[in-house]
């Protein structure tokens, strides 16, 4: 049986503060990731929403699967604050998650503080240049 390169989904199995962001990616746990990420209780995953300008529930499948362990979701919307679509906010509220959109920089800083306080926090962070 021939074996080629196996492409695996980007995943860090644990919780870690975000050390740096910018240049289209993030640094955490002495590693770097190019592109957007979602930080969940089960780990940090590569994340690419279908349309960064129009997020939908489908973009948050992993998050909804772990909703019982999450109270607060910080959504880093890119370089500036944009509101979350009303149907998406309603989906989060339905599973008991308080969602808070903000710029990616503000979301990173807030995530690190809440993580240090051992809060039930998750973050979906759109990469910025």
9 compared with 117, residue with greater pLDDT = 117
Quick one: pLDDT at residue 4?
62
Quick one: pLDDT at residue 10?
65
Determine the Cα angle at 50 with ends 46 and 54, to 5°: 120
pTM beyond 0.85: the answer is: yes
Class at the top of the CATH hierarchy for domain 11-125: alpha beta
List the chain domain ranges.
11-125
126 compared with 8, residue with greater pLDDT = 126
Mean pLDDT of all residues in 67-83? 95
Quick one: pLDDT at residue 53?
86
Average pLDDT, the chain: 92
CA 75 from centroid of its chain's CA atoms: 7
Pick from 63, 113, 114, 116: nearest CA to 88: 63
Pick from 129, 68, 77, 87: nearest CA to 107: 77
């Amino acid at each position: 049986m021939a074996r080629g390169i196996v492409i695996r989904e980007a995943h860090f199995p644990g919780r870690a503060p975000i050390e740096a962001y910018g240049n289209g990616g993030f640094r955490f746990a002495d590693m770097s990731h190019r592109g957007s990420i979602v930080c969940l209780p089960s780990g940090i995953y590569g994340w690419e929403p279908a349309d960064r300008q129009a997020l939908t529930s489908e973009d948050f499948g992993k998050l909804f699967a772990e909703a019982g362990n999450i109270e607060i979701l910080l959504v880093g919307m890119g370089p500036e604050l944009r509101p979350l679509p009303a149907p998406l906010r309603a989906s989060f509220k339905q599973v008991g998650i308080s969602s808070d959109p903000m710029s990616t920089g503000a979301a990173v800083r807030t995530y690190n503080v809440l993580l240090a306080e051992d809060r039930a926090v998750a973050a979906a962070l759109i990469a910025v240049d």
